Amino acid sequence: MNFKLIKKLSEVAGPSGFEDRTRDLITKEISSYVDKISVDNMGNLIAFRKGQSEKKMMIAAHMDEIGFFVTHIDDNGFLKFTTLGGFDPKTLTAQRVIVHGKKDIIGVMGAKPIHVMTAEERDKKITVKDFFIDLGMEKTEVEKIVEIGTPISRERECIEMGDCINGKSLDNRISVYILIEVIKKLHEKELPFDTYFTFTVQEEVGLRGAQVAALNIQPDVAVALDTTIAYDVPGSTPQEQITKLGAGPGIKIMDSSVICNTKFVSFMKYIADKYNVPFQSEIMQGGGTDTSVLQKMVAGGAIAGAVSIPTRHLHQVIESVHKKDVDNSIELLYHITKSINRL
């Protein structure tokens, strides 16, 4: 496992709509392993490998992360912001952020101190609007660097923690890492189909990049790579867990936005069994991934499925994935891609 690369991918800034730094990092990693690289008008990065058939396979991992936009600079230099993607407001407390203005500057999330709250305020559910960003600077200095619309990312180091990797934006940078490693592993191997390894943008704000990429590519078969919930923690029941860490990648059956092609689901399970890759059957009743648009943004529909990486503490700066699940996801996707003509 290349933890150094995982760390780079986790820590690089790339909020939805501002994925440039992430895209540049990916491009450097894969450029010598594919036939052609292109970037569409949305910013999707598409790496192409010629196959033995004109049938098309698309494998997509979104490269954006949840983040923020500056919406206001007040008279004292504090920033107000809006979110890019879904946040549980309580996870914003006591966090550092990076404001990507004319230069990168560190800020901290602030809110009204509990010491001066009324009893009613203490009992009130906190919202995103209760927070501001403190840059430690006067307004005149802030305005030299920051303007309305400046993007903001979260600041957190990616670390190895026991058998796990822990950091921010492993949704979905761990999938980006997996796809990069599959591209490298497939280098100089014959592929059955023309294969489009696609790193999509703006998934966290409505699956926007994948829609454009699928419309352009028109794949016959498509696989989405994304994280899924691992609620294998104290207080959960087995039926609530969805997946658990260390038990293998999830093979998606359905989520709130898609029912995966049943033949493709069976094929993925067959490949996993054939190559002794442990897996979990994934049904997620809330939320969705790029899988749904890969399936339906194609004339006649694409045969679509997904490989999901079990992840604890999603959409926080302490997301955790198990190293074995990462390695097994690489192995599963590698064999699916090499064997796709048997579907």
Active site residues: 203
CA 289 to chain CA centroid, Å, is: 9
DSSP E strands in 231-279: the ranges are: 250-255, 258-259
* Cβ count within 10 A of residue 251: 25
Q: Beta strands 45-49 and 193-200: pairing type? A: antiparallel
Cis peptide before 261 (omega within 30 of 0): no
User: In this structure, are residues 216 and 40 in contact, taking their beta carbons and an 8 Å threshold?
Assistant: yes
20-30 helix and 170-185 helix, angle to the nearest 10 degrees: 20
- Alpha-carbon distance 50 to 193, whole Å? 7
**DSSP 3-state of 295:** helix
Helices (H) then strands (E): counts for the chain: 9, 18
